[in-house]
Amino acid sequence: MTSQLTSDVDSLLLDLLEWVAKEPRTYRQTMDAWRTSCPRLPVWEEAVDRGLVVRDRAFGAPAVVALTPAGQSFLTARRKR
């Protein structure tokens, strides 16, 4: 990735992580809000690949999206800037 694209994706990742951290989100809500068909800005995919978010499913409940410890660290570090 170019440095500008990396910066753009990191900015969008921060937005995604702040959105997830704000309140419990279902996987469906997350996909409706954050999935993109643009291969140049794969925010959801990038967050998963970097291990920043995880999709959990409890028996019989909708899948939920949560920050991982790495996601929380990313969010905390970016908020300090």
pLDDT per residue rounded down to tens, the chain (81 residues)? 456 556 778 888 999 999 999 998 998 898 888 876 665 557 888 899 999 999 988 777 888 999 999 999 999 998 776
Range of the domain at 33: 3-80
Q: What is the pTM of this model?
A: 0.79
The Cα 34–Cα 42 span in angstroms is 9
The Cα 26–Cα 22 span in angstroms is 13
Please tell me the total count of domains within the chain.
Answer: 1
Helix (H, G, I), strand (E, B) or coil at 63: coil
Contact status, residue 50 vs residue 56, Cβ threshold 8 Å: no
Kindly report the CATH number assigned to the domain that includes residue 57. Answer: 1.10.10.10
